Amino acid sequence: MKAFAVSAFQGPLEQIEVPEPHVGRSDVLVSVRAAGVNVLDEKIRLGEFRQILPHAFPLILGHDVAGTVIRVGADVRGLKPGDTVYGRPDDDRIGTFAERIAVNEADLAVAPASVDIVAAASLPLVALTAWQALVERGRLQPGQKVLIHGGAGGVGSIAIQLAKHLGATVATTAGRANAQFVRDLGADAVIDHRSEDFAQQLSGFDLVLDGVGGENLERSLQILKPGGRAIGIAGPPDPQFGREAGLNPLVRLAIRGLSRKVRRQARKLGVSYEFLFMRASGEQLRDIARLVDDGALRPVVGRVLPFDQTAEALRLVAAGGSRGKTVVRVP
């Protein structure tokens, strides 16, 4: 079957022929109809996570899938051939830039019925990231205040809507051209990240969701009230992540060093920082599908490209600047 893969870190994404997926007892074989493209795909191509996410080559990229179930393993009970599903495969089983993929049943859910297959494919990684940051980790409550950086992007556009559904007051950063767009998603305050200083305009926030890192993350700590939390999805990884990922002691020591500065700064301010590397969860995707079908969440698709232009789609995502998600459609 056809797939888009890299043969080495930092190598080009190229179309190749690969064997059909092996379908285990708990697996679901999915005919891929659409696949979301994420910045994470580019970071993995560049080898940025090689120490914590070892992969064999050729490595098929792709973390979002929406498609049709072809067949199921002997132990699968919740899905059947013909079902339309969506999901984010586990880290060691990525590869949605392909005509077919085998995914553990636990990482899939029936796709939202109210949106098309392209919109469904845009959701898994960004919606799970938003859910795990705001609901699972952040425990966002009605009346609390949250700052979501990059509100026009894939994660930000979903996180704004989810935060409003949870009853929070939402501030976001975005370019001037996207100001009205993020307001329409539900943002109460919009800060132009090019000409305005969010750290000067905001204060007393309960939570920050940061996808930028570096100085942006450090300055985000300043707007939190005592006891507030900053959750970073761009890094640096923290010691808790190293423990949960089961990394070897040397890598965990390196991770501790990478995040020492921001953790020390957070302690001085009486706030906290934690790193989130989202995980696959079919259970959470079922909750997300209900929110989509109830009208609380609207998928935001920026570009749709054909499958044979997957490499170009990844290049565009890596360049940044687009609204919502880029999706490739498989014939």
The pLDDT value recorded for residue 160 is: 98
**Count of domains in the chain?**
2
> 256 and 146 in one domain?
yes
Q: What is the pLDDT along the chain (331 residues), one digit of tens a residue?
A: 999 999 999 999 999 999 999 999 999 999 999 999 999 999 999 999 888 888 899 999 999 999 999 999 999 999 999 999 999 999 999 999 999 999 999 999 999 999 999 999 999 999 999 999 999 999 999 999 999 999 999 999 999 999 999 999 999 999 999 999 999 999 999 999 889 999 999 999 999 999 999 999 999 999 999 999 999 999 899 999 888 888 888 888 988 998 999 999 999 999 999 999 999 999 999 999 999 999 999 999 999 999 999 999 999 999 987 899 999 999 9
> 114 and 227 in one domain?
no
> 147 and 39 in one domain?
no
Q: Which residues have a Cβ under 8 Å from the Cβ of 61 and sit 6 or more positions away?
A: 4, 5, 6, 13, 41, 44, 45, 94, 95, 97, 314
> 114 and 9 in one domain?
yes
Q: Domain containing 19 — which CATH number? A: 3.90.180.10
Q: Domain containing 192 — which CATH number? A: 3.40.50.720
> 270 and 136 in one domain?
yes
> 57 and 168 in one domain?
no
Cα separation of 170 and 199, whole Å? 15
> 138 and 106 in one domain?
no
Cα dihedral sign, 320-38-47-137? positive
Residue 43 structural domain = 2-123+299-329
> 130 and 112 in one domain?
no
Residue 220 resides in a domain: yes
Whether pTM > 0.95 for this model: the answer is yes
Q: Can you give the C-alpha Rg of the chain in angstroms?
A: 19
Query: In angstroms, what CA-CA distances link 6 with 9, 20, 197, 298?
Result: 7, 17, 40, 32
The pLDDT value recorded for residue 303 is: 96
> 44 and 168 in one domain?
no
> 136 and 233 in one domain?
yes
Residue 285 resides in a domain: no
> 130 and 165 in one domain?
yes
- Cβ-count burial of 317 within 10 angstroms (0-12 exposed, 13-18 middle, 19+ buried)? buried
Q: Where does a domain end: 275, 290, 321?
A: 275
The pLDDT value recorded for residue 51 is: 82
> 316 and 225 in one domain?
no
